[in-house]
Amino acid sequence: MNIHAVRAIYGFEMSRWGRTLLQSIVSPVLSTSLYFVVFGAAIGSRIAEIDGVSYGAFIVPGLIMLTLLTESTSNASFGIYFPRFTGTIYELLSAPVSPIEIVMGYVGAAATKSIILGLIILATASLFVPLRIDHPVWMVTFLVLTALTFSLFGFIIGVWADGFEKLQVVPLLVITPLVFLGGTFYSLNMLPPFWQTVTLFNPLVYLINGFRWSFYGVSDVNIGLSLAMTLAFLVLCMAVIWYIFRSGYRLKA
- The answer to whether 78 and 165 are in contact (CB under 8 A) is no
Domain-located, residue 241: yes
Domain-located, residue 252: no
> What pLDDT, on a 0 to 100 scale, did the predictor assign at position 87?
82
Number of domains within the chain? 1
Range of the domain at 221: 3-247
- The answer to whether 66 and 184 are in contact (CB under 8 A) is yes
* Half-sphere exposure (Cβ direction) of 20: Cα atoms closer than 13 Å: 10
Q: How far, in Å, CA of 154 to CA of 171, rounded?
A: 9
Q: What is the sign of the dihedral through the CA atoms of 53, 55, 60 and 63?
A: positive
Domain-located, residue 253: no
First to last CA, the chain: 27
Domain-located, residue 173: yes
pLDDT tens, residue order, the chain (253 aa) = 788 888 989 998 888 887 777 677 787 888 887 877 777 666 666 777 888 888 888 989 999 998 899 989 999 999 999 888 888 888 888 888 888 999 999 999 999 999 999 999 999 888 888 889 999 999 999 999 999 999 999 999 999 988 888 888 888 888 888 888 888 888 898 889 999 999 999 999 999 999 999 999 999 999 999 999 999 999 999 999 999 998 888 887 5
Phi, psi of 197 (to 5 degrees): -65, -45
